[in-house]
Structures are given as structure tokens and as C-alpha cells.
């Protein structure tokens, strides 16, 4: 997931994406616990994607506060 692509998306889509990523992280952790996860590095990648999206949302929130 590219940061430039995320900046182009609307805030609502980013919030939906956070929810989807959290659900995916839950599923990956579940598969890890049951021994079905082939690539444990996926968990790290999903966590970083969540952090990227949340960072962009926070930046937008701070921009709105500065304007007000």
C-alpha cells in the first residue's frame, strides 16, 4: 500500500480501510494460533498498513483544527 494512494482517498474510505485491516489482522492472528499461517511476516505488514492509514487520518484531523 502506497502512501500517495492513501492521500488520494477520502476520509470515510480510510476509516473503512482501518476496519478492514483490523479484521484482516484478527484473522491472521487466528490462523497463526492454529498453525495455518504460512507467512508470519504478513502480520507485521498489516500492522504497518494500519499505522499508515491512522497517521494520515490524524494529519487530516490536525489540519482541520489548524483551520478552525
52: domain CATH number is 1.10.287.310
- Look up the domain containing 55 and give its range: 3-67
Number of domains in the chain: 1
How many helices (H) and strands (E) are present in the chain, helices listed first? 3, 0
* Nearest-angstrom CA–CA distance, 64 and 68: 6
63 and 16 Cβ atoms separated by less than 8 Å? no
Please report which confidence band the pLDDT of residue 68 belongs to, taking 50, 70 and 90 as the band edges: confident
Per-residue model confidence as pLDDT tens digits over 39-50: 999 999 999 999
Please report which confidence band the pLDDT of residue 2 belongs to, taking 50, 70 and 90 as the band edges: confident
* Nearest-angstrom CA–CA distance, 31 and 26: 9
Nearest to 46 by CA among 4, 68, 17: 17
Amino acid at each position: 500500500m502506497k502512501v500517495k494512494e492513501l492521500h488520494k482517498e477520502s476520509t470515510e474510505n480510510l476509516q473503512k480501510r482501518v476496519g478492514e485491516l483490523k479484521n484482516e489482522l484478527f484473522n491472521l492472528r487466528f490462523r497463526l494460533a492454529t498453525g495455518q499461517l504460512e507467512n508470519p511476516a504478513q502480520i507485521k505488514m498489516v500492522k504497518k498498513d494500519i499505522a499508515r492509514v491512522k497517521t494520515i487520518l490524524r494529519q487530516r484531523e490536525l489540519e482541520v483544527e489548524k483551520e478552525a
